[in-house]
Amino acid sequence: MNLGALGFMSLLKDDGVLAAVNPEKPLLERAVYDNLPKAPHHAPRAKAMISLFMGGGPSHIDMFDPKPLLKKYDGKLFPGGEIKFDNAGGASREVMASPFEFKKHGECGMELSELVPHTAAIADDICMVRSMNLKGIRNHVAGMRAMDTGSGLNGRPALGSWLTYGLGSENQNLPAFVALVVGKNPPGSPFWASGLLPSMFQGTHVREQEPRIMNLDPPAYLKGAPQDLQLNLLESLNRRHLEQFPGEHDLQARMASYELAARMQIAAREVFDLKKETAATRALYGLDNDRTRRLGEACVIARRLVERGVRFVQIWDYSWDMHENIFEALQRKCAAADQPSAALVTDLKSRGMLDSTLVYWGGEMGRLPVIQGRGKGKPGRDHNTDGFSIWMAGGGVKRGHVHGSTDDFGLFAQTDVVYHHDYLTTVLHLMGLNAEKLAYKRGSRNETILAGQPGNVVRGMLA
């Protein structure tokens, strides 16, 4: 209780030791959340993103990452060290080479498998990342969460939620974040949840079949004037309640959802109508071929949404898990996915949209170079999250470029390794956002997509 003690306290404060005890200044106004366009942190390279998420684990060593050494050891015991199996049942250390031929494509000379001839045709437009790594995560659900939310744990906001929270949308008549599901929902879904962010930033689920969006159209007795009167009354009651209890984010989100739904009754019907697409576009995506139609329609809808100002579209195709009979199953899957995926890049480029649209293609893992399972003599491959491939296009990434590599067996990412939080940081950077600055205040903590992990912009991928 003397002047010396006061001086000591002052020195502690100057050194930052007492900084934590200083209470933050309270906000003068309640936070209001919406999907109106917002300024990025820096000049963006892309203004929208389309993610083709191939859940289950596309086999990188059969599609994107040639490993000729596997042929030397085919049928022999793996000569390296430990192999980390996710599914120990049926696991073995017997090496299994890829039966598919790899060739160089495009002016860049990118080596790609015969399974993906359409992707090979756009080799000069894509950035192939062969050094993805999930840092110890082994299974599908945690892996998809990591790639989509930054963490293998449940309850985190999806990438699309963070992007719409940070940037809003250029079209207020359509959702800012759309999730298109092809086939079955991914396990543990939805991966389009807003998590700890206000619920207005969650994705809108669009189905394969009609109605594409559930509960959008009113029943016949409410159409027209009756619906308008009902919505006006509902808006009046909600706003009166919000004035009495400001800051109720769930109510704000519900009100925004009702208002958006009313506007979407016209806008969504138009954007999902593929009958207006030309014969050339239908042929490009394979819309009239039963094999390619499902993913083709999703890709066309994604392009139409982005064309109309939607910020983020994610296509989920969870059908790439192949523990048995991988070679036949992979041929069928590539035949269904290769053409529509490449067509999306070609279509965006022809419309002058590729430079401003970031396209992602890949899953949460690859496959191991050894045999798993011998169901009816047709083996498969187990999960590999220590080294796998994805590709990206447009939106500021290098074209005709291969980033990073795995070892000679395709087992571990070894050069220019890209962890999931580096990938997410890079995506945000290309969209004009800083992953550490894009934060949501939750109590005394600033939550970010990095979930406490270090994230680096992968400069080697940037054009």
* Model pLDDT, residue 25: 52
Q: Is the pLDDT of residue 20 over 50?
A: no
Is the domain of 101 the same as that of 246?
Answer: no
Q: How far is C-alpha 113 from the chain's CA centre?
A: 24
- CATH classification at residue 326: 3.40.720
pLDDT of residue 230: 64
DSSP 156: P
Q: Is the pLDDT of residue 418 over 90?
A: yes
| Highest mean pLDDT, choosing among 169-178, 181-190, 404-413 | 404-413
Q: Is there a single domain that holds both residue 256 and residue 309? A: no
* 366-402 residue pLDDT tens: 999 999 986 667 999 999 999 999 999 999 999 999 9
Q: Tell me the pLDDT band of 205, cut-offs 50, 70 and 90.
A: very high
Mean per-residue pLDDT for 285-293?
A: 98
Is the domain of 258 the same as that of 156?
Answer: no
How far is residue 138's CA from residue 145's CA, in Å, rounded to a whole number?
12
Summarize the confidence of residues 133-158 as an average pLDDT. Answer: 94
- The yes-or-no verdict on residue 11 having pLDDT over 60 is no
Question: Quick one: tokens of 262?
Answer: 């009313």
Residue 221 has pLDDT above 90, yes or no: no
Radius of gyration (Cα) for the chain, nearest Å?
25
For 198, other C-beta atoms within 10 Å of its C-beta total: 20
Domain shared by 301 and 393, yes or no: yes
262 shares its domain with 282:
no
- Assigned domain for 36 exists: no
Contacts of 212 (CB under 8 A, 6+ apart): 206, 268, 272
Residue 291 sits in the same domain as residue 149: yes
pLDDT at 89: 79
Residue 22 has pLDDT above 50, yes or no: no
Q: Are residues 151 and 222 in the same domain?
A: no
Among 31-35, 75-79, 146-150, 237-241, the least confident range: 237-241
Query: Do 425 and 378 share a domain, yes or no?
Result: yes
**How many Cβ atoms sit within 10 Å of the Cβ of residue 209?**
5
* Tally of structural domains, the chain: 2
- pLDDT recorded at residue 90: 85
Containing domain of residue 260, as a range? 215-271
Q: What is the pLDDT of residue 239?
A: 72
pLDDT digits (tens, 9 = 90+) for 147-184: 999 999 999 999 999 999 999 999 888 999 999 999 98
Predicted confidence at residue 235, as pLDDT, reads: 66
Judge whether 48 lies within some domain.
yes
Q: What is the pLDDT of residue 442?
A: 85
Strand partners, 111: 104
Domain final position from 248, 271, 294: 271
In a domain, 326, yes or no: yes
| Of residues 284, 320, 298, the one with CA closest to residue 57 | 320
Grouping H, G, I as helix, E, B as strand and the rest as coil, residue 90 is: coil
* pLDDT given for residue 231 in this prediction: 62
Check residues 96 and 247 and name the one with the higher pLDDT.
96
Examine the domain organization and report whether 368 and 326 are in the same domain: yes
pLDDT band at 129 (very low <50, low <70, confident <90, very high): very high
Burial of 235 (0-12, 13-18, 19+ CB in 10 A): middle
> Which residues have CB under 8 Å from 221's CB, separation 6+?
none
- Choose between 207 and 189: higher pLDDT: 207
- Taking 70 as the threshold, does the pLDDT of residue 198 lie above it? yes
- Which residues have CB under 8 Å from 202's CB, separation 6+? 158, 161, 177, 190, 192, 193, 194
* Residue matched to tokens 């120990």: 88
Same domain, 259 and 364: no
> pLDDT by residue (tens digit) across 331-368?
999 999 999 999 999 999 999 999 999 999 999 999 99
* Res 29: pLDDT: 57
pLDDT at 189: 80
Q: Does residue 220 sit in the same domain as residue 311?
A: no
Which residues are CB-neighbours of 116 under 8 A, at least 6 positions away?
Answer: 63, 64, 334, 338, 342
* Per-residue confidence band for 3, with pLDDT thresholds at 50, 70 and 90: low
What is the pLDDT confidence band of residue 211, given thresholds at 50, 70 and 90?
A: confident
In a domain, 14, yes or no: no
Sequence-separated (6 or more) residues with CB below 8 Å from residue 244: none
Q: How crowded is the C-beta side of 10, counted as CA atoms within 13 Å?
A: 6
* Res 327 pLDDT > 50: yes
Asked if residue 17 is part of any domain, the answer here is: no
In a domain, 1, yes or no: no
Task: Return the pLDDT at 120.
Answer: 98
Residue 352 lies in a domain: yes
Within this chain, do residues 94 and 191 fall inside the same structural domain, yes or no?
yes
Q: What is the pLDDT of residue 21?
A: 46
The chain-wide mean pLDDT, for the chain, equals 89
Structure tokens at 162: 């963070």
Residue of 446, 448, 445 lying closest to 435 (CA atoms) = 448
